[in-house]
Amino acid sequence: MTEYEEIIIRWKPRIKWAADKFEKMEAKNVLYQIYCDSHLYGRDVLAYIGKTDRSFGQRMDEHFKSFFQYANNVNYSVGEIMQYTGKLEIPESILIANHKPFFNKEYIHDLPLEAKKQKIIVINEGEFGMLKSCCTNYWWCEKK
C-alpha cells in the first residue's frame, strides 16, 4: 500500500477582477487561480496558479501591473490550505504541473526537489473551477 500525504485546499467562489478594489483579504499563505479570456485557449480559461506569503491584495496588485491589465474577463479564486504547515511551493507546483496554466512559467514540466520526496495528493474542495478535484505528484516522485 502506498501512503500519500494529503493536502486539502478549500477554494472560494470566483471574484471579478477590479483593479481598484481587490478582495479585502489580508490573509497570507494562500494559493490562488486567475482566469481570463485567451485568443488561443478560449474564453474564461485558467491562466495562472500562484501562491503568496504576503498580503493577497499586494500580490494581486502586482499581477494587475503585468499581462492581466490587458486581458479581458479577468477573475480569480483564493484557496485556503487546510491543516498543512509545509511550504506553499509544494502544492502550488503540483497544481501547475498537472494543469499547465498558460501564463505560468515555472513547474510546467517538473517539480522542485522538495515536492518529489514523498507522494502527495492535492484535494481541491469548494469552488475549484477548472482544476481537477484531485491531483498528485506521483509521476515526478523519486522511485525507490
Report pLDDT digits (tens) over 100-137. Answer: 999 999 999 999 999 999 999 999 999 999 999 999 99
Residue 55 CB-half CA count within 13 A: 9
Its pTM stands at 0.90
Which cell numbers in the block locate residue 104? 505560468
Question: Is the CB of residue 31 less than 8 Å from the CB of residue 48?
Answer: no
Strand ranges for 39-133 from DSSP E: 42-52, 75-82, 120-126
Q: How far is CA 29 from the centre of its chain?
A: 12
Structural domain count, the chain = 1
Boundaries of domain holding 114: 5-140
Average pLDDT, consecutive stretches of 10 residues, N- to C-terminus, the chain (144 residues):
86 81 63 94 95 81 82 92 92 98 95 95 97 96 74
Residues 51, 143, 102, 104, CA torsion sign:
positive
